[in-house]
Structure 1
Amino acid sequence: MAKPNNEYVNREISWLHFNERVLQESADPDVPLIERLRFLGIFSNNLDEFFKVRFATVKRIADAGKTGRSVLGGESAKVLQEQITKKAIQLQAKSGRILEKIERELATEHIYIVNEKELKKEHEEYVVEYFQQKINPELIVVILNTLTEFPTLKETAAYLAVRMVLQNPDEVPIEQLGIQYALIEIPRHLPRFLVLPELKGENYIIMVDDVIRFCLKQIFTMFVSTEITAHMIKITRDAELDIDNDLSKSFIEKISSSVEHRKISDPVRFVYDKRIKIDTLRFLKDKMKIEEMDSVIPGGRYHNRRDYMSFPSLGRKDLQYQKIDALPVKGVRLEGSLLEQIAAKDFMIYTPFQTYSYVIKFLREAAIDPKVKSIKLTIYRLAKNSQVAAALINAARNGKEVTVQIELQARFDEQANIKYANIFQEEGIKLIFGITGLKVHTKICFIDREEGKSLKRYGFISTGNFNESTAKIYTDYTLFTAHDGILREVNKVFDFFDVPYKINKYKHLVVSPHYTKNVFSKLIDNEIANALVGKEAYIKIKMNSFTSYKMVDKLYEASRAGVKVQLIIRGVCCLIPGIKGMSENIEAISIVDKFLEHPRVFIFSNGGNPKIYISSADWMTRNLDYRVEVGCPIYDEDVQQELMETFDICWSDNVKARVFSEKQDNAYRDNDKPRVRSQFALYDYYKKKLKKKG
């Protein structure tokens, strides 16, 4: 049977559907009320990053006069721009309605978000005092009418566009008559929300934007106005890094320069308060040279809703998710030597259900163990005050040979990584900055320890960043092992960083960009062969995103052969499941819940002797062909069993699982089975394991 014309979902459109699932969380009455506001912030932050990167790429293609169909899933860049803008406008409007509903529900909990016109008399003096002491000294105010050149708006900032209708007394200079426009930059480092003094057991919160609106006349005392209004605007700029080829500059200097250039890069989205006066909007668009074909999006009264991620808790634990205590791994003690325990047996942690302290303990023990000679680690994103970095510095000061591969092009973490790179260099740590044309995204650690007359190898391989902060909110697997074959090959990956023209061969690891696509294709082919002769054949995969059309086609081929495929894809999924003659044996779900789903795990039936891998790589073209990634086989039977059981728990989710389908409607999975909310069930699973004997 021939395939239908629509074999794939466009990547950008699928991403917008993913972000709509995040927005669903903010509308879910079963999610605690303050957490719903925070999901609204995550939705907004996601949308900002999407326009900085993905929409910016589409715009570049369209501006170059190209269709881009080969890289955009058959859609032309110009048409796709229009589709994205239309969908973004719909989502913005939906988020506004959800916010209004949340605010009404907060009021039933005696929490009121008030604007400058709703301010209680009892709070006015407090607000004016806060404005004078905290806000006014920080304000940047620009009068626009007489400027020959419009100021460059910061990509990360929100602005109030002020419109003043002036009086005409004799003392007012003629050039100031009529309408006066101004811009106020809202200070980013101040909290967006001001908690006002409690009144009779009721909580009041006002946004900094409205504090400024309340005090507008105090800012513009030099103008005599009959009317003064302020409406929010913001710009999103192209965030792609353009790295120059100046051979006289170090790689750190090139990245620093490119990050700096983001401040003045082309705007890709202009969002404004839809209540703004037409003349003000026309004035701004004209001065900023924004054309109608650009992504101009009418929004609500408030922008930068990402700040809702930091909405004050007000001490209301009942309106937030209950924090969980990360669990220990059964039979693995944090006291005593962790290396000795790893030498005896592999083990795995699944954060945040289990404690990340094992990673920190491993590095700290290696840092001060006299027998440890060298430590090698890859870094993509570190915590702000990183315990991982502290352990590496400690190791260097103890005379260890420490090598760190740090990815300076980790998007939106470039400046943080540059800061750490400079610190590491000062401490004498050997730095590797990656390979031209390839990002290093793998998460691996390797140490050499002198035991007797030989060196023994230890290490860990993870699906997520070595970041103890995100480990509390991202779900990820980390395998600790002393398997000599695996670790020799981990060391080969570090050798590849130093000598990238030498392509190593691997017996155990699955390494991008050279082998990942081929290895997983062969594993799929094996399932196809087994299905065709009537053997058990299945594939179970959990990833963040699935956009490689070649791998989509391989799974379509597997489906037609009768291989049962289960996919758990958190974000973008270009595959369309359940289409007769193409993908009828494929089911796919997405889980969006309290924690960010981040693991990559691949399970192949292999005729009843499962082959299982964890990996840093999604099945995206960039991960398969343009990044250094590592997939690691799981040999320990207990860890294999744990991975299969945790996958099945996730697959059984019928509370937070949405079903991928041809409709692309983000429908929740609905069945008659007992309710399973997988993230909560996983925590219970690990608690039960601790109670079991043996």
Structure 2
Amino acid sequence: MTQKDIPLINREISWLYFNDRVLQEAADITVPLIERIKFLAIFSSNLDEFYRVRVATLSRLANLNDKAKSLLGYNPKKVLSQIKTLVVKQEKKFNNLYENIIVKQLAEEKIFILNEKQLNVSRGAFVKKHFREKLLSTLVPIMLDDDKPMPELHDRAIYFFVKLTKGKKSRLALIELPGNLSRFLVLPETNQLKFIILVDDIIRYSLEDIFFVFEYDSIEAYSIQLTRDAELDLDKEVSGKFIDALSRSLQKRRKGKPMRLLYDADMPHDQVHYLSKRLGLESSNLIPGNRYHNFKDFIAFPNVGGPELEYKRQRSLPVDGLSFGKSLMGLIAVKDYLISTPYQSFDYIIHLLREAAIDPKVVEINISVYRLAENSRVMHALINAAQNGKKVNCLVELRARFDEQNNIQWARKLEDEGIKVLHGIPGYKVHSKICMITRMEKGRPAYYACLSTGNYNEKTAQIYADHTLLTANKKITADLLQVFRALNRGQLPKDLKHLIVSPIDSRPTLNRLIDAEIRNAKAGKPAYMILKMNSLADEELIAKLYDASNAGVKIQLIVRGMCCLVPGVDGFSKNIKAISIVDKYLEHARIYMFANGGKELMYLTSADLMTRNIDNRVEVGFAVYDEGLQKQIRDIIDIQLRDNTKSRDINKSNNNKYHRTHSDTHHRAQVEIYDYLKQLNPTTT
């Protein structure tokens, strides 16, 4: 079967269907109201990044000649047109959901979002006082003149496009709204009624204080937001000047090519035309929206109501056998442990690093990090280790998209503290999440490994569902030692036996494992695969999965995001079922399971089944050898497969239909996983 002959969903279109699942959570009346607002914010933030990266890439591809386009297998211009159609439809759904449903349901909770036309005298005075004390000094209007160049609009900043009219004459201006202040102002409560106003409407209410030098009969202000191309144009060479080159490229990101102008749908057509002409935009770049842009700020929408308007915060569960009062290395030396965040505490990883920092027998720490918390306790533990005389090697991936600046700052801080900082391998992003501690025991080095599907980031660990393995298993640590030795030399590791490392091992290993299932299916032996990931887009592997389906291998997929494979198609994927779970936590773990003729194989990994993860990144996958942990992961996967509340079927209709099982029992995976892990530890039941 050739890749050109197989059914595929375009990856960009598939991603938009995923973002629609996020919008479904905002529409779900069983989700607490403030959480629904947060899902609206996530939808908006996702779409911003989509335009900055994916649409920007498609826009470049659209300029290729016909021969180059034929090699792509699709027409970029056609896909861009499909994207606009879907996005406009989703924006309408978003606007209706916010304006006609969420706002009204807030009012039922006695919480009112007021605009500038709904302020009475006393609230108006309160708002004006806040404006003059906190906002006025930050606002400088730019008067527009056809004889002067259009000012450069900053990426994702909110602007008011203002029109001052006096008789038949008019003036136009732009005002950039401050991005470093809270978007919301809570107004004084009245008769147990709560009131909130956005900064946008405070400024609208106070426009006369900004334009007092002009004479006008009327003044209009409509919000706009420009999204720019965010891709970095960098020399791939990793050298001593790499950080400086990356810093300069980040500055250029503010001036990338305009990709999308999101504008208030109430803006008059002539003003939309004026902006598109002055900014050099095409109709495909114009997206009508509501009066509030940068909706990602609503992730911090203040809950002035009761606690029932948010998800109940659950305490992190302890891991059976681990203790903050004992040496974790002493415990790991005896058996493997699995930490499933956010259900269980990420603090175990911090505790392990702190122990390594002060243990006199620890001589070296090697770690690879991708995304870091702003005030990272992981980094502080490494700094403490260096101050205590340990050798610390830290690979910081500076090209972690949209975290580059934070990672640059940490890299410089670590270097200032005497830590050896590595910046990766030429041509490859290092996306692995691995750490190894070397401890001298009886005159010989002993190794303790921490391998994860998620980042060493204590902030995201509170909302990302991931698995972390703590092990001293010599099969794994021997390979991991080879990985770090190669990375520390700026090379790719080779000839590993127990780890699956991209870009060397992943594709051949996955092909070998799938081929084994195909052979077993043809021989009448048990043959199945359960693959959980964030994204499935690699066409070669999709073709391989179709071959396996046609051979009789039963395949179950759990894919949170984009899925280019089409399940349930005769002659290709009748034996493939796929679901996507979108819920309170972000499903981030990658788990690959194979029947292996009755002796199930199980791998955790940092790699999705995308070409970039398989061929263009350094990823580390690791087998789970402990039978107790294998059962634990299998049980968690089984819980997810029977979810009939928050899972959606991925199908050829792309309708995001909720997955329903034959069971009459209500199953919600993330609730049941918490309960399952809780009962594993007798001290919490």
Shorter-chain TM-score: what band?
over 0.9
Q: Which stretch shows the higher mean deviation, 535-544 or 3-12?
A: 3-12
Against the structure 1 CA distance between its residues 119 and 5, is the aligned structure 2 distance closer, same or farther, given a 3 Å change threshold?
Answer: farther
- Matched position secondary structure for 1:554: helix
**Residue 691 in 1 paired to residue 682 in 2?**
yes
Give the corresponding residue for 1:97. 96
Following superposition, the deviation at residue 279 of structure 1 comes to 2.6
Against the structure 1 CA distance between its residues 525 and 146, is the aligned structure 2 distance closer, same or farther, given a 3 Å change threshold?
Answer: closer
Tell me which of 373, 384, 402 is aligned to 2:374. 384
Q: Which amino acid aligns with 1:106?
A: L
Give the corresponding residue for 1:174. none
Distance 2:239 2:396 in 1: 21
**Residue 645 in 1 paired to residue 644 in 2?**
no
Structure 2 counterparts to residues 248-267 of structure 1, below 5 A: 250-267=241-258
Give the corresponding residue for 2:383. 393
Give the corresponding residue for 1:627. 617
Following superposition, the deviation at residue 675 of structure 1 comes to 1.1
Give the corresponding residue for 2:278. 287
**C-alpha offsets along residues 340-389 of structure 1, whole Å, 9 cap, x if unaligned?**
00000001010001111110000000011010000011111111111001
Q: Is the 8 A contact 2:494 2:504 kept in 1?
A: no
Give the corresponding residue for 1:214. 205
- Matched position secondary structure for 1:140: coil
**C-alpha offsets along residues 156-207 of structure 1, whole Å, 9 cap, x if unaligned?**
311010001025xxxxxxxxx8110111111011111111111110111111
Q: Which stretch shows the higher mean deviation, 531-540 or 36-45?
A: 531-540
Q: Is the 8 A contact 1:539 1:564 kept in 2?
A: yes
Give the corresponding residue for 2:556. 566
Structure 2 counterparts to residues 269-280 of structure 1, below 5 A: 269-280=260-271
**C-alpha offsets along residues 215-241 of structure 1, whole Å, 9 cap, x if unaligned?**
001100011110101001111111111
Following superposition, the deviation at residue 302 of structure 1 comes to 1.2
Against the structure 1 CA distance between its residues 146 and 524, is the aligned structure 2 distance closer, same or farther, given a 3 Å change threshold?
Answer: closer
- Matched position secondary structure for 1:478: strand
Against the structure 1 CA distance between its residues 658 and 677, is the aligned structure 2 distance closer, same or farther, given a 3 Å change threshold?
Answer: same
Give the corresponding residue for 1:615. 605
Q: Is the 8 A contact 1:379 1:406 kept in 2?
A: yes
Following superposition, the deviation at residue 69 of structure 1 comes to 4.8
**C-alpha offsets along residues 309-352 of structure 1, whole Å, 9 cap, x if unaligned?**
11111152110011110100112112110100000000101000
Distance 1:266 1:96 in 2: 27
**Residue 237 in 1 paired to residue 217 in 2?**
no
Give the corresponding residue for 2:504. 514
Structure 2 counterparts to residues 121-520 of structure 1, below 5 A: 121-145=121-145, 148-166=148-166, 178-244=169-235, 250-292=241-283, 294-500=284-490, 503-520=493-510
Following superposition, the deviation at residue 278 of structure 1 comes to 2.4
Identical residues among aligned pairs (%): 45
Distance 1:107 1:427 in 2: 53
Distance 2:597 2:236 in 1: 51
Give the TM-score normalised by the residue count of structure 1.
0.96
Distance 1:64 1:140 in 2: 41
Give the corresponding residue for 1:586. 576
Q: Which amino acid aligns with 1:447?
A: I
Q: Which amino acid aligns with 1:614?
A: L
Following superposition, the deviation at residue 2 of structure 1 comes to 11
Following superposition, the deviation at residue 66 of structure 1 comes to 5.1
- Matched position secondary structure for 1:75: coil
Following superposition, the deviation at residue 5 of structure 1 comes to 5.7
Distance 1:270 1:162 in 2: 16
Give the TM-score normalised by the residue count of structure 2.
0.97
Following superposition, the deviation at residue 149 of structure 1 comes to 1.2
Give the corresponding residue for 1:600. 590
Q: Is the 8 A contact 1:578 1:661 kept in 2?
A: yes
Distance 2:366 2:420 in 1: 9
Q: Which runs of 5+ in 1 are unaligned?
A: 168-176
Distance 1:179 1:657 in 2: 53
Distance 2:483 2:591 in 1: 20
Against the structure 1 CA distance between its residues 683 and 395, is the aligned structure 2 distance closer, same or farther, given a 3 Å change threshold?
Answer: same
Distance 1:64 1:266 in 2: 17
**Residue 79 in 1 paired to residue 69 in 2?**
no
Following superposition, the deviation at residue 501 of structure 1 comes to 5.0
- Matched position secondary structure for 1:514: coil
Against the structure 1 CA distance between its residues 45 and 657, is the aligned structure 2 distance closer, same or farther, given a 3 Å change threshold?
Answer: same
Distance 2:396 2:335 in 1: 30
Against the structure 1 CA distance between its residues 67 and 17, is the aligned structure 2 distance closer, same or farther, given a 3 Å change threshold?
Answer: farther
**C-alpha offsets along residues 593-631 of structure 1, whole Å, 9 cap, x if unaligned?**
000000001111111111100000000000000000000
Following superposition, the deviation at residue 68 of structure 1 comes to 5.8
Q: Which amino acid aligns with 2:222?
A: H
Distance 1:23 1:367 in 2: 44
Following superposition, the deviation at residue 251 of structure 1 comes to 0.7
Distance 2:7 2:535 in 1: 17
Give the corresponding residue for 1:172. none
Following superposition, the deviation at residue 502 of structure 1 comes to 6.1
**C-alpha offsets along residues 29-73 of structure 1, whole Å, 9 cap, x if unaligned?**
00001110110000000000000001100001113445765675x
**C-alpha offsets along residues 230-262 of structure 1, whole Å, 9 cap, x if unaligned?**
001111111111014799971101111111110
Q: Which runs of 5+ in 2 are unaligned?
A: none
Q: Is the 8 A contact 2:61 2:69 kept in 1?
A: no
Against the structure 1 CA distance between its residues 692 and 647, is the aligned structure 2 distance closer, same or farther, given a 3 Å change threshold?
Answer: farther
Following superposition, the deviation at residue 86 of structure 1 comes to 1.1
